[in-house]
Amino acid sequence: MKIPGRKKFIVTLSKVTLGGVAAIGGLAILARTLRRRSPPLVLTGLEPAVLRPPGALEEESFLARCIRCTRCQDACPTGAIRLANPQDAIPTGTPYINAHEVGCNLCLACTETCPTEALEPVFKKDETRMGLAVVDDRTCVSLNGTGVCGACFTVCPFRGKAITLGLRNAPTIHKDFCVGCGLCEAACILKGVKAIRVFSGRVWA
Amino acid sequence: MRGKIQWLRRAVQISVILMVLITPFLVQYRVLLANNEIEALRRGNNGRFSGKIYLTIDRWMRRPSKEEASNLNSAAEREKVARRLENVRGNVWSAEIFGFSLTDPLGGIESIFASRTVTKALLIGMLIPVLVTLVLGRVFCSWICPAGFLFELTDKMRNFLVKLGIPLRSISYSTLNKYTLLVGGLAMAFFVGLPLLGYFYPPALLGREFHQFADTQFYESLAGASTTGPFLFSGALLFIFFIFLIEITLAGRMWCRYFCPGGALYAILGSRRIIRIANTTSACTNCFECIRVCPMGLNPMATEPGLECDNCLVCLTSCQPGSLSLDFPFKKIIQANGLAKEDKPAQKIAS
């Protein structure tokens, strides 16, 4: 009589299968919620797409490789790299740079410490492509004729190449040299929505 | 000597927990220190919790030491301290300790499956943990994992509640569940392109959670106002608390025994481990104490300790007759040459 053994086997097998199906189903639901995309890149929109640390791959590959280990944040000496919280639009735990507050000073320590090369090693500061700065000529003090500023030019690590100043310190961005570090956005003298903002992605690279 | 093993294990676990708890704040403090923003923080501190954390760390860092009065006034000294604080980065999921990159094999394999690429940095990071697991077995679970330490507390609580006379259920599931979860999670990672198991893995959750917490506290302390609203912690701690409650009331050590995908991977890696628990059976009195204390619910008296054993050595410590011992190759040769001292508690009991 092998029936008890067989019965036990069938019960175990069904338990395992049910557990597996439940687990995979749960993972699938989680995957759907986590795959919420960052807002589409519209230059006239109010919020720029999220800025990733230097050396980051394109969004899709970056999210695949990044294991959300927080090491890049620990390596950042200026506190520019922040971690997404669950209420944010990007997957929780992934690093981003809020250029509104602090820009990246391109020390590239995060690319050295990244364990998965989700932030690929970048060896020269000017080879980084995090995004592109865009000036809003309606709000920029120098461009709309209400004053003379040039704060973005002063902090730009590639001033003269990435940003040049024109009449009354009106900034012009040169996309071949702009690395998208966000220092200019952090330095912009406007409160609230800044006149110069960094849009992420390698679309312009 | 045997009793001290467990003290050593507790010491390692507690130091890892402290690392997970304190590292994020130390790292953020380093940023404040390097940018000379401590003074501004002290002036602008309005008694918020976020500011207090960093001011407490600051007071602690400036305490007068015997060799030198480290008052952190000069930029060079601040730089020195900041460099020192940089030595430990990350958490248990992936850490950089004194320049050594250590990545959890689960994280590494997930990243490989999700991105369908293998990178050099990842292999270097996984090297030490994988080698340690191949030799020592699933020691991450019992010696390092901070969540494992938390879940070990549930065993104590269960014993306490049972002593009080509260009836507790102890459901057991199939240990195959965790392998199913591992394979399913890796398959999902491969097809979805996201490392999903990292959101289910308590040690990773703990580390990430405290980093996110420190991050929000850091920016609150600078802004001087609440920027996060009520979301201090995400659902991760809730998930761990949920497991904690279930383990206390329904199923003892449920997560580690039956559901942990990381534990499953470590078990597979450590299945051919060199150091094992072995029962010499000469002194064994069949007291079943080792079976009672085993956190994984195994039978250490059996000749083959099996896949699930995580070498926590609790059975070795609790074995009164000294029948259980650590078995490794060359042990017989070492003993024959008289290099290893055999401790014989059995004779002590007899005399």
CA of B80, closest CA in chain A: separation in Å? Answer: 13
Which residues does chain B have within 8 Å of residue A83's beta carbon, measured at their own beta carbons?
208, 211-212, 215
Sheet containing strand B100-103, strands side by side: B88-90, B94-97, B100-103
Above pLDDT 90, what percent of chain A? 21
Q: How far apart are CA A60 and CA A202, in angstroms?
A: 12
Report the residue of chain B nearest A62, measured CA to CA.
B115
Confidence grade of residue B190 (pLDDT, cut at 50, 70, 90): very high
Mean pLDDT for the stretch of residues B170-199: 89
Question: What is chain B's alpha carbon radius of gyration, rounded to the nearest angstrom?
Answer: 24
CA of B121, closest CA in chain A: separation in Å? Answer: 6
pLDDT of residue B114: 92
Which residues does chain A have within 8 Å of residue B91's beta carbon, measured at their own beta carbons?
69-70
Question: What is chain A's alpha carbon radius of gyration, rounded to the nearest angstrom?
Answer: 23
Contact B146, B91 (CB under 8 A): no
Residue contact A73–B27, C-beta within 8 A: yes
Strands annotated E in chain B: 88-90, 94-97, 100-103, 276-279, 324-327
For residue range B105-147, list pLDDT tens digits in order. Answer: 999 999 999 999 999 989 999 999 999 999 988 999 999 999 9
pLDDT of residue B233: 62
- The H or E element that residue B292 is part of is helix B289-293
Residue contact B174–A19, C-beta within 8 A: yes
**φ/ψ of residue A97, rounded to 5:** -115, 120
Report which of A95, A75, A97 is spatially closest to residue A83, judged by C-alpha positions.
Answer: A95
pLDDT of residue B130: 94
Report the residue of chain B nearest A8, measured CA to CA.
B174
Report which of A149, A77, A65 is spatially closest to residue A114, judged by C-alpha positions.
Answer: A65
In sign, the C-alpha dihedral spanning B106, B112, B118, B120 is negative
Indicate the Cα dihedral angle B288, B292, B298, B299, nearest 10°: 0
**Token pair listed for B302:** 């059996």
Contact A116, B105 (CB under 8 A): no
Q: How far apart are CA B185 and CA B198, in angstroms?
A: 10
pLDDT at B349 over 50: no
pLDDT at A115 over 70: yes
Report the residue of chain B nearest A110, measured CA to CA.
B89
Report which of B268, B201, B277 is spatially closest to residue B240, judged by C-alpha positions.
Answer: B201
Which residues does chain B have within 8 Å of residue A18's beta carbon, measured at their own beta carbons?
none
Above pLDDT 90, what percent of chain B? 24
Nearest to A67 among B31, B111, B215 (CB): B111
pLDDT of residue A17: 83
Residue contact A79–B207, C-beta within 8 A: no
Residue contact A69–B28, C-beta within 8 A: no
Report the residue of chain B nearest A60, measured CA to CA.
B193
pLDDT of residue B187: 92
Q: How far apart are CA B12 and CA B315, in angstroms?
A: 18
Mean pLDDT for the stretch of residues B13-35: 88
Q: How far apart are CA B290 and CA B299, in angstroms?
A: 7
pLDDT of residue B35: 78
**Amino acid present at B312:** C
Nearest to A116 among B119, B173, B211 (CB): B119
Burial class (CB in 10 A: 0-12, 13-18, 19+), B45: middle
For residue range B37-48, list pLDDT tens digits in order. Answer: 777 777 776 666
Q: How far apart are CA A124 and CA B119, in angstroms?
A: 20
Q: How far apart are CA B187 and CA A10, in angstroms?
A: 25
Mean pLDDT for the stretch of residues B279-295: 83
Q: How far apart are CA A1 and CA B293, in angstroms?
A: 36
For residue range A140-171, list pLDDT tens digits in order. Answer: 899 888 889 889 999 999 988 999 998 888 99
- DSSP annotation of B272 reads G
- Coil vs helix vs strand at B143: helix
Which residues does chain B have within 8 Å of residue A16's beta carbon, measured at their own beta carbons?
174, 176-177, 180
Name the most confidently modeled range: B26-40, B256-270, B318-332: B256-270
- DSSP annotation of B230 reads T
- DSSP annotation of A51 reads B
Above pLDDT 70, what percent of chain A? 87
**Token pair listed for B226:** 């609440």
Q: How far apart are CA B275 and CA B284, in angstroms?
A: 20
Q: What is the pTM of this model?
A: 0.81
Contact A130, A120 (CB under 8 A): no
Residue contact B121–A19, C-beta within 8 A: no
**Amino acid present at A152:** C
For residue range A11-44, list pLDDT tens digits in order. Answer: 888 887 888 888 888 877 777 666 554 443 344 3
pLDDT of residue B65: 61
Higher confidence at residue B98 or residue A44? B98
Which residues does chain B have within 8 Å of residue A35's beta carbon, measured at their own beta carbons?
192, 194
Contact B48, B179 (CB under 8 A): no
Which residues does chain B have within 8 Å of residue A34's beta carbon, measured at their own beta carbons?
194, 196, 199
Residue contact A69–B212, C-beta within 8 A: no
Nearest to B96 among A27, A83, A113 (CB): A113
Which residues does chain B have within 8 Å of residue A119's beta carbon, measured at their own beta carbons?
none
Indicate the Cα dihedral angle B55, B19, A77, B127, nearest 10°: 180
Considering only B40-49, B166-175, B268-277, B284-293, which range has the smallest mean pLDDT? B40-49
CA of A79, closest CA in chain B: separation in Å? Answer: 6
Q: How far apart are CA B145 and CA A201, in angstroms?
A: 37
The mean predicted confidence, pLDDT, of chain A is 82
**Token pair listed for B75:** 């930029």
Q: Which residues contact B113 (CB under 8 A, 6 or more apart)?
A: B186, B189, B190, B195
Report the residue of chain A nearest B100, measured CA to CA.
A113
Residue contact A82–B195, C-beta within 8 A: no
Size of interface A-B (CB pairs under 8 A): 171
Indicate the Cα dihedral angle B66, B71, B77, B78, nearest 10°: 130
Which residues does chain B have within 8 Å of residue A74's beta carbon, measured at their own beta carbons?
23-24, 27, 86, 89-90, 96, 211
Which residues does chain A have within 8 Å of residue B110's beta carbon, measured at their own beta carbons?
67
Tally of CA atoms within 13 A in the half-sphere of B130 that contains its CB: 13
Above pLDDT 70, what percent of chain B? 85
